[in-house]
Amino acid sequence: MSVTKNADLTLFLTETTEFSSLPQSPWLVWDQTGDPQAISKAYQAGARAVFPKETSPNVILETIQRTMGELLENRKDAKPRTQRTYRRGELILLEADAVLHVEDGILATTMIHQDGVEVLLGLSGKGQIVVAHPDDNCHIQIIAHTEAKVKIEPWDVAASTPDFLAKLRARLQQMEGWAAMQARPSLQQRVLGLLGLLSEQFGVSSKQGVLIDVRMTHGQLAAAVGATRTSITRVLSELRAQGRVSTVNKDGEDLFCLVEQPERHSHY
C-alpha cells in the first residue's frame, strides 16, 4: 500500500514475513511476532533496523520521517545537513561511509544475535566518534541512550580534521577495554569491570565515591556482560553488601556509584 510520496521517494506499508518480495530500497521492520528467528531473517534480508513490538508508534513514525529526510539529503542535488538531534530511544541510521561525532548526549551501540538476544557493545558520549558498520550479518544498531545531538560527516571529510586520529585511537581503545571486560570469567568481575569503564567515561567525584552519571538498567547491564537480569540483581546485591557499590538518586534516577577507586584503563 502506497502511503505518501515526497519528491523521488515513496513510502510503502506492508505486512509480511516473506522479505524477498520487498523492493530494493531502504526498509524498516516493526516486529509483531516476538520471534527471534524472524528478527534475524529480517536483518539478513537487508532491513536497516527492526523495532521491537513494544516500540512506541511515535518513535517509529519519527524514524520513518527522519529516514526519508536523510534519503532526500543524500541525493546529488541536495545540500547535506550534518547536525541532527535524536530523542531517547530513537534509532540512528548511518550510511556505510559515515562518521558520527557526538556533540551532546549518549549513544548506545548494540547488536542482535540470531536467537534474538541483544548485546550492548558500548556507550559513546560527548566528544567521541562512532563509525558506521557495513551491511552484514552483525545486526549492529546505534540508539540514542539519552537525548543526543550529533554531527554526521563522510569519512573523507572527518578524516581530514586534525583530531580525527586521536578520536579514532580512543574509539579502538574503548572497544578493546569493553572486549577485555566481557572476557573476564567471573560475572562479578565483569560487572565491576563494566562499572569501572563507565566510571572512566561518565564518572564524577562524590562523597560516596565515583558516581557514574548515566542511567543503566539491570537489563542493560545484563546485555553488556552476557548475563540475565536476575543474575545482575544478585551480583549487585552482593557488591552492595561488600560495600563496593552503592546507588545514588539524582534528579529522580538511580545511578550507580563505585565506592572503591576503580581500576584505570586509560581508554578515554
The residue assigned the cell 581530514 is 160
CA–CA separation, 96 vs 204, rounded Å? Answer: 35
pLDDT tens, residue by residue, 210-264: 999 999 999 999 999 999 999 999 999 999 999 999 999 888 889 999 987 655 5
**Element containing residue 129 per DSSP (H, E):** strand 129-131
List 100's β-bridge partners, or say none. Answer: 130, 152
Which pLDDT does position 33 carry in this prediction?
A: 72
Q: Which CATH architecture has domain 2-161?
A: Sandwich (2.60)
Are 9 and 2 in contact by the 8 Å Cβ rule? The answer is no
Which pLDDT does position 94 carry in this prediction?
A: 85
What's the rounded mean pLDDT across residues 88-104? 90
Nearest to 215 by CA among 170, 251, 241, 180: 251
What's the rounded mean pLDDT across residues 113-133? 87
Q: Where are the domains of the chain?
A: 2-161, 167-258
pLDDT band at residue 15 using 50, 70 and 90 as cut-offs: low
CA–CA separation, 105 vs 124, rounded Å? Answer: 9
Cα-to-chain-centroid distance, residue 62: 17
Per DSSP bridges, beta strands 107-112 and 83-86 are unpaired
Q: Report how far apart, in Å, the C-alpha atoms of 134 and of each of 93, 94, 97, 255 are.
A: 12, 10, 8, 34
Per DSSP bridges, beta strands 98-104 and 148-154 are antiparallel
Q: Please calculate the CA angle 198-105-208 and round it to the nearest 5 degrees.
A: 40
Read off the DSSP letter of residue 19: G
- Does 14 or 174 have the greater pLDDT score? 174
Nearest to 122 by CA among 149, 141, 101, 148: 141
> What CATH class does 167-258 carry?
mainly alpha
Is residue 73 scored above 60 in pLDDT?
Answer: no
Are 24 and 32 in contact by the 8 Å Cβ rule? The answer is no
Q: Report how far apart, in Å, the C-alpha atoms of 241 and of each of 152, 171, 187, 238, 245 are.
A: 44, 34, 16, 5, 8
Is 184 buried (19+), middle (13-18) or exposed (0-12) by CB count in 10 A?
middle
Q: Report how far apart, in Å, the C-alpha atoms of 92 and of each of 34, 68, 77, 164 are.
A: 22, 13, 23, 21
Which pLDDT does position 27 carry in this prediction?
A: 66
pLDDT tens, residue by residue, 178-214: 999 999 999 999 999 999 999 999 999 988 899 999 9
